Structure 1
């Protein structure tokens, strides 16, 4: 048999050739391995160093290895959070010429942890629920892409925390199937498998003493379906908003917020029939909005203020011709954010500040203006615009506040 390394990037085979493919994976020498925490797997899995890369190596039969590699490549093209496939190695033999199982190689997801490592110290219930929210986001994104996981579980997921944001990544696509579109039955089957698997994993954690005593493993497993259903409905509803109805977009954002999710990305496509809006959700930790607003604009605000201002900034950015959806902390996003501060935030605050001299907190004042605009737009059933909201606020809110009691 001849050793073959199948990879999409021509640089990868050269890096991988240095690894000891003639040795069964479970007996690889320590000098080849990287001591990183591993989750539970039905296959032998090891982390190894290949050049400057840290890679995950998994032994499995040739057909499922090639199939999983292709599925991961497809998910990568769809920009779905999953581990990055690098190669499949076949034709392995030991020193005596006996065949060895092929391996699938993926890039290690930096900063990620399997769930059992995260529970080595008892995790607070609020954090556990945010992890479940992140898994619900992943499931929804997979299903929107037509991918039926077939074995959703905490064990087959990696979690990563980055500047307060939580994200779940698919790490095992062996049982997955890709379809043009999933039926309701296929989605329900995935959710039921997730419920059973997660409840079992939480029961294991409870038995080992690693689960917070306030968490019910069975109820927690059921929660994935509830979170998924709410998010799926809110994201998949087709909404076309006529011009001047931007307050309806804010209503959608508020509903996502009420579900415990934030808008990582909002895309608006214009047509003769109206504006079609697509939302991409994310799960965030406390203080995330403060840090992001400070990073983008230099403004230091309270968490709820920052969240409200960032929602307005994201809505405004999506209407700009030079907006490129993607990384919310990219250089382009910073340019647009500073333009928003200069052209929207500061002029709006100045227009009110003279009528509310006791109000020194610009972020809170702008937050109140946005709330006022929201209520006026809801009452009028069309977006009244920020200028009209400022005028009404000065006339009816600030004026009343200035009157002596």
Structure 2
């Protein structure tokens, strides 16, 4: 028995459309492709904040995922999709490309622009959201530091961006700092290796664009001061803490409300140049030293590890004068993230991992001296991580990622211990953190 004519029972949104995707998902066919993106109905869209873009951009719920949809030309969509896939394969921080949708037509037969679909980065923050309360130079500095690191990673991979800016970047919290992810690769080019001129042009674009974006932000800013709920200094402890948590990092200043430092767009934009140049020199620069100072090889590797990089390949050349020249050839980001995952199975960004590894080390020295790292990590997961996460109400876990919650609880515990001049157990630190800090914060996973 022959079936119905092709297309007879298809929804109108699925007619005359071509979807190229590496993630076949039938729900993609249900999106209203015959409607211009700017006119998509509310029941399809998700109310996420959109950054500044030259294109029409919307967020849509597709199955259990939220996808960012951007209208552009078919050529640009296919090109950007391919670039993002190649960048992902190289391990660079960028959004996940999902599909290219072409051959769209309205119900009247009018041709519509192609659409590039990318996966929304969970818990990500557009830079403007981070200034929603006040323009703070400390936040601006952390943003440009993250952007500088991203640019270094992209350049090491041979990617020329061509439109470096805060607007084309998404940020995720990373233990009091931020991690930056590339969002828009439309103007980018991937090469085996970038020239100094290409890198310099990207860096100058970054300096100019960051200054302009911050000036625009300040010009339209209305100061709505906000003070978070105070910490409870009267909290009493009822049990003896089992180990002293690692000392707080500079993120501690974010726990206590303080007057914001004014943002200077020009000083901040110069910072990205300085940070980039220091990172690039450390990661790629040649180091020459006498043969007797071979310890400098291990010292250089340690400095790179401290920056979050592993050395996958390096050259060691000697000359007739008895000198050695060391040049890192291949460096791989994610040193601390890999180390944490190896001993706990936990996924975290680099600074989160660094912070948690410090706590695991102190936990092990205090309670299980001499135990192998993997066993110490497993015990820390049971005795610290699990207890922290189980004490956080389920409806509040959309406010921060698990690794960030753990980091903030450890910071909070250290701060309370300092204020009360006594060791505060984790259970009470979590309780105070939930009520005085986490509960009042927005749900960054769902609605920024």
For residues 237-386 of structure 1, the aligned pairs below 5 Å read 237-238=285-286, 245-246=294-295, 248-251=297-300, 253-254=302-303, 262-267=306-311, 278=331, 280=333, 289-295=354-360, 298-299=363-364, 335=374
Matched, 1:67 2:116: no
Question: What is the distance in 1 between the residues matched to 2:373 and 2:56?
Answer: 44
Q: 1:178 aligns with which of 190, 195, 210?
A: 190
For residues 37-116 of structure 1, the aligned pairs below 5 Å read 37-116=49-128
Q: 1:227 to 1:178 in 2, by over 3 A?
A: same
Question: What is the distance in 2 between the residues matched to 1:236 and 1:199?
Answer: 27
Q: 1:297 to 1:338 in 2, by over 3 A?
A: farther
Indicate the SS of the match to 2:58: strand
Indicate the SS of the match to 1:31: coil
Question: What is the distance in 2 between the residues matched to 1:338 and 1:51?
Answer: 35
Q: 1:269 to 1:192 in 2, by over 3 A?
A: closer
Q: Tell me the CA shift for residue 15 of structure 1.
A: 2.7
Corresponding pairs, count:
302
Indicate the SS of the match to 1:57: strand
Q: Which residue of 2 aligns with 1:322?
A: none
Q: Tell me the CA shift for residue 127 of structure 1.
A: 2.8
Q: 1:126 to 1:165 in 2, by over 3 A?
A: closer
Question: What is the distance in 1 between the residues matched to 2:27 and 2:288?
Answer: 50
- Return the structure number with greater relative CO, CA threshold 8 A, min gap 6: 2
Question: What is the distance in 1 between the residues matched to 2:134 and 2:365?
Answer: 32
Query: Greater shift after overlay, 125-134 or 180-189?
Result: 125-134
Query: Greater shift after overlay, 179-188 or 283-292?
Result: 283-292
Q: 1:190 to 1:210 in 2, by over 3 A?
A: farther
**Contact residue 293 and residue 299 of structure 1 kept, 8 A:** no
Q: 2:166 aligns with which of 125, 129, 154?
A: 154
Indicate the SS of the match to 1:139: helix
Question: What is the distance in 2 between the residues matched to 1:48 and 1:96?
Answer: 24
Question: What is the distance in 2 between the residues matched to 1:143 and 1:24?
Answer: 36
Question: What is the distance in 2 between the residues matched to 1:192 and 1:272?
Answer: 33
Q: Tell me the CA shift for residue 298 of structure 1.
A: 2.8
Structure 2 unaligned regions, length at least 5: 1-14, 224-259, 318-323, 337-348, 367-371, 381-448
Q: Tell me the CA shift for residue 294 of structure 1.
A: 2.2
Q: Tell me the CA shift for residue 145 of structure 1.
A: 1.0
Question: What is the distance in 1 between the residues matched to 2:351 and 2:287?
Answer: 30
Structure 1 unaligned regions, length at least 5: 302-332, 342-405
- Give TM-score, length-normalised by structure 1: 0.66
Give deviations 1:189-235, integer Å, cap 9, x for gaps: 11111111111001011212369563211121122111111111110
Question: What is the distance in 2 between the residues matched to 1:232 and 1:102?
Answer: 38
**Contact residue 6 and residue 87 of structure 1 kept, 8 A:** yes
Q: Tell me the CA shift for residue 280 of structure 1.
A: 3.0
**Contact residue 149 and residue 177 of structure 1 kept, 8 A:** yes
Q: Tell me the CA shift for residue 247 of structure 1.
A: 5.0
Matched, 1:4 2:48: no
Indicate the SS of the match to 1:30: coil
Question: What is the distance in 2 between the residues matched to 1:221 and 1:90?
Answer: 39
Matched, 1:223 2:223: no
Indicate the SS of the match to 1:20: coil
Q: 1:136 to 1:337 in 2, by over 3 A?
A: farther
Q: 1:168 aligns with which of 180, 190, 203?
A: 180
- Give TM-score, length-normalised by structure 2: 0.60
Question: What is the distance in 2 between the residues matched to 1:50 and 1:137?
Answer: 32
**Contact residue 86 and residue 105 of structure 1 kept, 8 A:** yes
Query: Greater shift after overlay, 210-219 or 270-279?
Result: 270-279
Indicate the SS of the match to 1:298: helix
**Contact residue 194 and residue 224 of structure 1 kept, 8 A:** yes
Question: What is the distance in 1 between the residues matched to 2:144 and 2:40?
Answer: 35
Q: Say which structure is richer in helix.
A: 1
Matched, 1:15 2:24: no
